[in-house]
């Protein structure tokens, strides 16, 4: 376990039969259990490290943040891995200093519609919904990993997420246009569901406190002001979602 002034980190925890690993971030010296966030990365394979800047920022705000690796290329399209990480959060968060009974499910990019899919179609997760969903720079008009459902179509068909949905998107995102989050927010409001949408002046990578490095085809941490500001906003939204 690594510790700095604000955050304790446990890395490489195996979370299920797939053998995939996750990292846990929690506030250093927390006197008791803290709210838990399970945070899914995007479609890039095994990119839990990409979310470290955001996870550390959120943990410093008083959350246990669990960030698992997952891949989209298995035959089941990552369903088993994502479900394993859900089961781990419920079973093991308490031992890591968090709350496993009631946790926020969050995702960035392709992880965002996957998170919402669990709320819209809880039967994929033994009928259990998270306490809230946070979608970060997501697209909601395509089938989601884990549920296979299309969020906008599910809402039009009358499916109900039944939990608050919080959306954050970079207004300068050229990978996944912010209009996708606006469309989802409009659909949720039209259905009478609880939703918030926050936009911030950054891009697809910046919203998680990173920048895209084409040399390695991967996002890496950045201290650019727009990204730091965006990451702090996302952390605040995660805290609000955790109640």
Instruction: Indicate the burial class of 140 (C-beta count within 10 angstroms; 0-12, 13-18, 19 or more).
Output: buried
Each of the 243 residues of the chain gets a pLDDT tens digit; together they read: 665 678 999 999 999 999 999 999 999 988 889 999 999 999 999 999 999 999 999 999 999 999 999 999 998 889 999 999 999 999 999 999 998 788 999 999 999 999 999 999 999 999 999 999 999 999 999 999 999 999 999 999 999 999 999 999 999 999 999 999 999 999 999 999 999 999 999 999 999 999 999 999 999 999 999 999 999 999 999 999 998
Q: Among 105, 96, 124, 94, which Cα is nearest to 40's?
A: 105
Collapsing DSSP states into helix, strand and coil, what is residue 124? helix
Q: What is the pLDDT of residue 101?
A: 81
Q: What is the pLDDT of residue 31?
A: 86
Q: Which helix (H) or strand (E) holds 232?
A: helix 225-242
Q: What is the pLDDT of residue 5?
A: 74
Determine the Cα–Cα distance for residues 230 and 32; give it in Å rounded to an integer.
29
Domains of the chain, start order: 2-242 (3.40.50.1820)
Collapsing DSSP states into helix, strand and coil, what is residue 193? coil
Q: Which helix (H) or strand (E) holds 59?
A: helix 52-60
Q: State both tokens at 173.
A: 């995102």
Q: Among 87, 158, 159, 179, which Cα is nearest to 116's?
A: 159
Q: Which helix (H) or strand (E) holds 104?
A: strand 98-108
Q: What is the pLDDT of residue 41?
A: 98
């Amino acid at each position: 376990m690594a510790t700095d002034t604000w955050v304790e980190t446990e890395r490489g925890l195996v979370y299920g039969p797939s053998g995939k690993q996750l990292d846990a971030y929690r506030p250093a010296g927390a006197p008791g259990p803290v709210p838990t966030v399970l945070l899914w990365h995007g479609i890039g394979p095994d990119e839990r490290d990409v979310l470290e800047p955001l996870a550390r920022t959120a943990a410093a705000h008083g959350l246990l943040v669990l960030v698992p690796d997952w891949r989209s290329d298995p035959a089941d399209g990552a369903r088993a891995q994502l479900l394993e990480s859900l089961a781990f959060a419920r079973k093991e968060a308490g031992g890591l200093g968090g709350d496993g009974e009631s946790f926020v499910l969050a995702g960035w990019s392709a992880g965002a519609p996957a998170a919402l899919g669990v709320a819209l179609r809880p039967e994929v997760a033994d009928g259990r919904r998270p306490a809230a969903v946070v979608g970060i720079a997501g697209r909601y008009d395509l089938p989601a990993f884990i549920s296979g459902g299309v969020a906008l179509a599910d809402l039009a068909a009358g499916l109900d997420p039944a939990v608050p949905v919080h959306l954050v998107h970079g207004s300068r995102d050229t990978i996944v246009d912010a209009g996708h989050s606006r469309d989802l927010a409009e659909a949720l409001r039209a259905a009478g569901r609880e939703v918030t949408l926050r936009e911030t002046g950054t891009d697809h990578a910046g919203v998680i406190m990173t920048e895209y490095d084409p040399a390695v085809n991967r996002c890496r941490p950045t201290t650019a002001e727009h990204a730091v500001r965006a990451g702090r906003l996302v952390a605040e939204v995660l805290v609000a979602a955790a109640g």
